[in-house]
Structure 1
Amino acid sequence: MNRRHLLLCAASAAAAFAAPLSHAQDTPIRLVVPYAPGGPIDVTARALAERVKDTLGTVIIDNKAGAGGNIGADLVAKSAPDGLTIGIAATATHAVNPWLYARMPYDAGKDFAGITQMVRVPNVLVVNAARAEQLKIRTLQDLIAYAKANPGKLNYGSGGNGSAGHLAGEMFKQKAGIYALHIPYRGASPAQLALLAGEVDFNIDNLAAAAPNIKAGKLKALAVTSLATSPMLPGVPPLSHTYPGFSIDTWWGLVAPAGTPKPVIAKLGKAFTDALKAPETQTRFELLMAEPVPTSPEQFDAFMAAERAKYQQVVKSSGARVD
């Protein structure tokens, strides 16, 4: 009887693990991307959705842009915790916005269950190449020295108040003990165009966006914001070599609504981390300057909590606020 009881318990446990997502083969999983189609986050989400078809069934991408990503994230937070609606958690939605927005429709720390981090993309401090040559700025130290010798003469651009470029710029100014006027633009693309036109002196931009103009010689990369040297930009030192601990990468990953059963999270996590580890995925992501970072659900939850704590101070120091 004991053996029979054990076998029945094992069978029940296996059924409980498989059941929540077995019907996902018939009912498509909805993956909510809280940004418009066509960007790096959307492209990587679609690539993974294609790779998990054999294990999870059809995954449909649902773009719900608006309010800095808050609309799409809120949709996930308020969905049924059954594994059939999952979403993208990004630097903005799960680390910056909780401190940037006066009112939030969701609690980034309580309303989600991590599945896996997907990628990280370094940001890069870039200057207009022609302007850098004129001012004899060839290294990060040259930029800092110029700023200290010419107080009030430097400015930098970003995609808007509270954007990643704005917050990274404020972190850099604090660490370096320099002043540079922040000029916000309506998006990262206009900010880069302003840098190329010489309207601003430097930007801290997403590497994926800046790389084409770095390769073309129009922008000069002085430092990356990752803790270590980026293999995607060899020879460019990280800011952490000058200011230990400096790290402000762009990242995103997958989350489910809080309360989603752990067996469901485990099954989703295995399918997506296997997809992230596939050589084809890594090659495709490399073209986007995105490094795959497959993690366990627990690791991703801990990472997001640490990022929220970091950005709380950064956003407060920047003075950025959205009412």
Structure 2
Amino acid sequence: MSALQVLRAWLGLLALSLGLACAQAAPPDYQDLYAHPERAMPMQQHWQMQPVSSSAPPWAEIFMFQIRFDPRLVDRLRWLSLNPDPDMALAPALFDALDGRTLFLAPSARSLCDGRWQVVRVESISNSSVNKVLQPATKVWLVQHKPGGTLEATTAYGRLDAQGHWAVPPLTCDGSTTNVVFSADALAYLRPDDAQPLPSDLQLDLVYAQPGLRDARGRWLAPVPPSDITTAHWMDYKKQIITPGSGGSGLIDPQGRMVIPFIFGDLPDATAQRRIHLCSNAGLRLLRDARTPRVCRWQRLQRSQGGEALRPVLDAASGRWGYQNARGQWAIAPQFHEARRFRHGYAVVAAPFADDWRPPGWQDAWPMVRQYWRMGRYWVAEALVRNPSTAGQWAIRYGLMNDAGQWLAPQAQLPLQITVPSPAGGRNGHYAQMLAAHLPALLGRQVEVTHLPDASVADYERLAAQGGNRQLLFTAMTLPRGGIPGLHQGPPIDTALRSLQPVTLVASQPMVLAIDSTQADALGIHSTDDLLAYARAHPGRLRVGTGEDGWIGQLALAQLLARSGVDLQRVVFPGRYPDSDVVTKAHAVELVLAPVNGVATAVRRGQLRVLGTTAYPAHPQSLDGITWPTLGAHALLAGLAVYDHFILWAAANSDPATNRELQQAIAQLLAKPEVQQQLQEIQAVGGGGSPESLLALEAQMREQWLRAQALTAP
């Protein structure tokens, strides 16, 4: 047997995910949704605001939100509405500026009126109708399943509570909207008791009217305000979103080259000391008027000569000013709205605002912060930006910074992948599909199942080291991980397996001890008592078929022999458990230890009879309404309980908090009556316990295997 075959023999079904492509939500097509509401768009991925640690923040990811609230109340806000661009694969959300959590529409709130209405997309969160508590309104797209099977799409507004459930649903079940309805349970933007924003070690400051934040040591945080007044004034004008055709004053040299861009108001002439007085608006107010304070500085000019012989001339044909020499020739072509004489090698001219001018070294990906607001424990920055979310045009977007001076960027929750390295249809695949069907509603996150029957040792090791929070191992792996030396002889990947993080036990199934019906009648064995009596009278006469060493059938037989003291002959068959044909047709053994699915068909046909199961006596198993006895209920076998366990493990680099969140969701799933009924139908017991309980189970299984190792050697 090859090393890989040995690995499969004792490792069983390990889970692995090889695809790491991010599943992006397609941009919405509203016309298509109205025309074909049956093509409901999948709910967008959830996301969380995460600090950006890079020294060069990805501004396009930070300044990508549009927010909607009353700016007069900004210093009293608690909930910040974050609305990504419609083409982004992110759903709108509410950010709690006190607790730092992001709130989404709860999975259970995605259907209304007993499932007749389905929410297929969250369109935006805004303050559509202002009242005294500024309750946010959530706009959603819905599809209605009408009587007769027809479908209808519509949009409506509702209001959420702090858990993401509807305090005011988007519409009532009779179809009327609830846009103007308010609720005491719905979220309010205002902070409790109208408290003032919390103090911060970061301080808001200005440089030439450009706002910035300093830390406690006085260092500027990115983006740093400009240090020269020309760049500052250009930014100030840009942030007013100058309309086409606006004019400005600048400075040229005798060759007509721009020295000061055409972005200032009425500039004074250069002085004898070759300096020019540049002024810009000061203060934080974006709307300027005569009362707006100004800040000015003298900027020294490089030495320039000439130009005194040139005179400004208005060109009658174009209506523009230029400069002619003494012979009446154009030295600088007509192009200016106004032009003054040259002094000390420079001339002040007026021309269209230099929209295409950029300060030296400027990058268009940089944001131009218009203002900062303090919100709860965070800073909100409004900026003029140009990035993919603005379709390459200058637009106003918002970003978020924490008190540590870290910008926060949205991090999408990628689909959770559960990959079963076996063909579809097996027990592991069945449980994985059960999780995929129920977990999205509990996690608000897509779940994908992939079957990969031919994973290599390198694949297992890679998953164990690099799976992160997106990938899970779903396995019937015999505990303990890595096996027992001398019993589980697989390739040397024990270190990788033992580095896995526990998530939870999903389900457990007991083994079934069945006897060939013909042999049962011939030998008079119809119960556990009959079996033990016959085995004592005929030591080694009865043969029991189990799977290969390391599979759970070996452990079940070991417990049976240890507790009863009888002598049964173990016959080992390839695989995890023997096929029922080896009993009913080949008559290779009289008894077989196999899971329920391995004997159910033969039992229904009357070819096998169940003597007992390895279930706990308090949880007996049944088939077709007939309850099977448990071996542990017999006085001589008290305490016998052996299960095949179906377990979720996560990679070594996964986040324990995320794993615990998943474990809690699975516990909720397994508590559902319909899921419990489903498990009962396949004679399984639901798990859902904590990661710590899974590790305790592993320790218990280790002790059981060590005791079983010597008892069942063939």
Please give the alpha-carbon distance, in whole angstroms, between the structure 1 residues aligned to 2:462 and 2:437.
22
- What letter matches 2:632 in structure 1? L
Report SS of the residue matched to 1:178: coil
Please give the alpha-carbon distance, in whole angstroms, between the structure 2 residues aligned to 1:177 and 1:305.
25
Partner residue in 2 for 1:291? 685
CA positional deviation for 1:183: 1.8
Please give the alpha-carbon distance, in whole angstroms, between the structure 2 residues aligned to 1:236 and 1:275.
29
Pairing partner for 1:165 from 553, 562, 566: 553
Give 1 or 2 for the bigger CA radius of gyration.
2
Partner residue in 1 for 2:707? 313
1:187 aligns with 2:567: no
Report SS of the residue matched to 1:254: strand
Partner residue in 2 for 1:16? none
1:266 aligns with 2:655: no
CA contact (8 A) 2:541 2:568 kept: yes
CA contact (8 A) 2:577 2:594 kept: no
Q: 1:4 to 1:268 in 2, by over 3 A?
A: farther
CA positional deviation for 1:73: 5.6
- What letter matches 1:83 in structure 2? N
Please give the alpha-carbon distance, in whole angstroms, between the structure 2 residues aligned to 1:72 and 1:248.
30
Pairing partner for 2:516 from 117, 128, 147: 128
CA offsets 1:67-114 (integer angstroms, 9 cap, x no match): 9x988764542224x311111243526458344333441348731222
Please give the alpha-carbon distance, in whole angstroms, between the structure 1 residues aligned to 2:422 and 2:609.
29
Map 1:65-80 onto structure 2 (within 5 A): 65=453, 74-80=461-467
Pairing partner for 2:632 from 233, 239, 255: 239
CA positional deviation for 1:117: 0.9
Q: 1:298 to 1:269 in 2, by over 3 A?
A: same
Please give the alpha-carbon distance, in whole angstroms, between the structure 2 residues aligned to 1:296 and 1:196.
42
Partner residue in 1 for 2:608? 219
CA offsets 1:232-259 (integer angstroms, 9 cap, x no match): 2325133353322222111112111234
CA contact (8 A) 1:116 1:294 kept: yes
CA contact (8 A) 2:578 2:592 kept: no
Partner residue in 2 for 1:15? none
Q: 1:33 to 1:162 in 2, by over 3 A?
A: same
Pairing partner for 2:437 from 43, 50, 66: 50
CA positional deviation for 1:157: 0.9
CA positional deviation for 1:127: 0.6
Partner residue in 1 for 2:488? 101
Please give the alpha-carbon distance, in whole angstroms, between the structure 1 residues aligned to 2:656 and 2:621.
36
Partner residue in 2 for 1:147? 535
Please give the alpha-carbon distance, in whole angstroms, between the structure 2 residues aligned to 1:262 and 1:247.
30
Q: 1:71 to 1:235 in 2, by over 3 A?
A: farther
- What letter matches 1:191 in structure 2? D
Please give the alpha-carbon distance, in whole angstroms, between the structure 2 residues aligned to 1:263 and 1:194.
48
Please give the alpha-carbon distance, in whole angstroms, between the structure 2 residues aligned to 1:135 and 1:152.
14
CA positional deviation for 1:189: 6.4
Please give the alpha-carbon distance, in whole angstroms, between the structure 2 residues aligned to 1:128 and 1:274.
41
Greater shift after overlay, 148-157 or 204-213?
204-213
CA RMSD of aligned residues (A): 3.2
CA positional deviation for 1:227: 2.6
Q: 1:188 to 1:85 in 2, by over 3 A?
A: closer
With normalisation by structure 2, the TM-score equals: 0.39
Pairing partner for 1:23 from 412, 425, 429: 412
- What letter matches 2:436 in structure 1? A
Greater shift after overlay, 244-253 or 159-168?
159-168
CA positional deviation for 1:43: 0.8
Partner residue in 1 for 2:370? none
Please give the alpha-carbon distance, in whole angstroms, between the structure 1 residues aligned to 2:590 and 2:660.
47
- What letter matches 1:32 in structure 2? T
CA positional deviation for 1:225: 1.0
Please give the alpha-carbon distance, in whole angstroms, between the structure 2 residues aligned to 1:71 and 1:133.
51
Q: Which has the higher contact order (CA 8 A, sep 6+)?
A: 1
CA contact (8 A) 1:29 1:58 kept: yes
1:112 aligns with 2:112: no
Please give the alpha-carbon distance, in whole angstroms, between the structure 2 residues aligned to 1:114 and 1:235.
33
Map 1:194-209 onto structure 2 (within 5 A): 194-197=582-585, 198-209=587-598
CA positional deviation for 1:209: 2.4
Partner residue in 2 for 1:137? 525
1:301 aligns with 2:704: no
Report SS of the residue matched to 1:247: coil
CA contact (8 A) 1:56 1:271 kept: no
Report SS of the residue matched to 1:142: helix
CA positional deviation for 1:300: 1.8
Please give the alpha-carbon distance, in whole angstroms, between the structure 2 residues aligned to 1:302 and 1:2.
47
- What letter matches 1:232 in structure 2? Q
Report SS of the residue matched to 1:156: strand
CA contact (8 A) 1:95 1:307 kept: no
- What letter matches 1:206 in structure 2? P
Question: More helix per residue: 1 or 2?
Answer: 1
Unpaired runs of at least 5, structure 2? 1-195, 201-375, 379-400, 403-408
CA positional deviation for 1:59: 1.9
1:178 aligns with 2:178: no
CA positional deviation for 1:66: 6.2
Report SS of the residue matched to 1:141: helix
CA offsets 1:144-171 (integer angstroms, 9 cap, x no match): 2112211232111122233222332233
Q: 1:232 to 1:240 in 2, by over 3 A?
A: closer
Please give the alpha-carbon distance, in whole angstroms, between the structure 1 residues aligned to 2:445 and 2:582.
45
Q: 1:92 to 1:231 in 2, by over 3 A?
A: same
Pairing partner for 1:41 from 424, 428, 431: 428
Report SS of the residue matched to 1:97: coil
Question: More strand per residue: 1 or 2?
Answer: 2
Please give the alpha-carbon distance, in whole angstroms, between the structure 2 residues aligned to 1:96 and 1:148.
37
CA contact (8 A) 1:35 1:64 kept: yes
Please give the alpha-carbon distance, in whole angstroms, between the structure 2 residues aligned to 1:296 and 1:250.
18
Please give the alpha-carbon distance, in whole angstroms, between the structure 2 residues aligned to 1:291 and 1:86.
21
- What letter matches 1:136 in structure 2? G
